[in-house]
Amino acid sequence: MSILIQGATLPDGTTGDVLVDGGVITELGSVTTTADRTIDAAGLRLLPGLVDLHTHLREPGREDAETVLTGSRAAAVGGYTAVLAMANTSPVTDTAEAAERVLDLGRAAGLVDVQPVGAVTKGLGGEELAELGLMARSRAKVRVFSDDGKCVHDPRVMRRALEYVKAFGGVVSQHSQDPALAGPTACCHEGELSGRLGLPGWPGVAEEVIVARDVMLARHTGSRVHVAHVSTAGSVEVVRWAKAQGINVTAEVTPHHLLLTTDLLTGYDPTFKVNPPLRPDEDVRVLREALADGTIDAVATDHAPHARHDKEHAFVDAAFGMLGLETALPVITTVMVENGLLDWAGVARVMSANPARIAGLDDVHGRPIAVGEPANLTLVDPSAQVVIDRDASVSLSRNNPWHDRKLTGRVVATLLRGTPTVLEGALA
């Protein structure tokens, strides 16, 4: 169907009509052509469809927490047209066949483009490289590799991975956590609070030393490294230095690390248990500034759904992770736009264009809103006040850290190649 989006405000602040037909933008400006459907977009912002570099869809293996279909629904409702599905499934996405299976599940769901992330090492074991070349040459055309949830802690293995992916323009996304400094039970930012609460400490330096090591390995190999879920001011300092040296490094930050702080752990609510952990105010302020000035390239949700029986434990024993796809844009609107740290062109940059470029999807996603471009689009009400209700989520899981919070910004419509996946804020 042809769709006329009437009177939308584009990322650059100009206002006009956008005609979509045949999956592409065919007219822009003052459009008089009749369309099959017209959307009144007066007062709304039109953005290129959002792209998430870091989504856990749990299928195969943990379909009780999320599936590719339910995760795709959450992504579409959140304004996303493409997501990267992390490899820590069961079995792990460490072969070409496994990657193609995730790709096919995404295509069957048909709500967002689901791009598989390949594991760096077999079984996320950290010792033997996975089938990087075969995954890259498969139908899935994997270009991002990550053992997320686990750090590739052996520097020789990390070096080999960086050398390998360089041949086909791939990138290694690192979960930066030195296991000797922050072990598997570490769950609270190390400091006075962790000592008072009796929770195992997760010091910022455990992240920072891996970031520093990996940017030096990227310089040595001439390859690309991506720093997942940056959470400390020290990591920002390292990334900023590396970029000034011309090292090919990119970085992402999650919505929750831009707003939530470690003091929320005083109630031992496992909803707020995440890896890396929530950090103090001083880190949060630096992360916001780094996203605004371009040191951090992208917002990535680290959407990590969990079944109730995995979260409803004592804090130390509960699973790490929280939901993020449906709420990312309202959080960024509230934290970054309302505080004057990003304009809407900046939102399009960090939530669409940069993630698409890092993932190698920028031929179809994160594109400018212009005639001839693919109609992957998100329509946002920038002033809508929304109170988050975890029970209204289309995800299978309910570990939502934003429950009962008032946020600004609401996704009104999402179009994937010109086909509405969301209209009037609900699945089409």
HEC assignment per residue over the chain: CCEEEEEEECCCCCEEEEEEECCEEEEEECCCCCCCEEEECCCCEEEECEEEEEECCCCCCCCCCCCHHHHHHHHHHCCEEEEEECCCCCCCCCCHHHHHHHHHHHHHHCCCEEEECECCEHHHCCCCECCHHHHHHCCCCCCEECCCCCCCCCHHHHHHHHHHHHCCCCEEEECCCCCCCCCCCCCEECCHHHHHHCCCEECCHHHHHHHHHHHHHHHHHCCCEEECCCCCHHHHHHHHHHHHCCCCEEEEECCHHHCCCHHHHHHCCHHHCCCCCCCCHHHHHHHHHHHHHCCCCEECCCECCCCHHHHCCCHHHCCCCECCCCCHHHHHHHHHHCCCCCCHHHHHHHHHHHHHHHHCCCCCCCCCCCCCCECCEEEEEEEEEEECCHHHCCCCCCCCCCCCCEEEEEEEEEEECCEEEEECCEEC
302 is in an annotated binding site: yes
| Nearest-angstrom CA–CA distance, 80 and 342 | 19
- Can 302 be counted among the known catalytic residues? yes
148 is in an annotated binding site: yes
381 is in an annotated binding site: no
320 is in an annotated binding site: yes
226 is in an annotated binding site: no
189 is in an annotated binding site: no
Structure tokens at 46: 């039109």
256 is in an annotated binding site: no
Hunting for tokens 């010091």 — which residue is that? 203
Q: Which of 113, 214, 302, 310 is catalytic?
A: 302
88 is in an annotated binding site: yes
Residues 6+ positions from 334 with CB-CB distance below 8 Å: 259, 407, 408, 409
376 is in an annotated binding site: no
410 is in an annotated binding site: no
405 is in an annotated binding site: no
Q: How far from the centroid of its chain's Cα atoms is residue 21's Cα?
A: 29
175 is in an annotated binding site: yes
362 is in an annotated binding site: no
Binding positions are: 54, 56-58, 88, 148, 175, 229, 275, 302, 306, 320-321
Binding positions for substrate are: 56-58, 88, 275, 306, 320-321
Binding positions for Zn(2+) are: 54, 56, 148, 175, 229, 302
Q: Give the residue numbers marked as catalytic.
A: 302
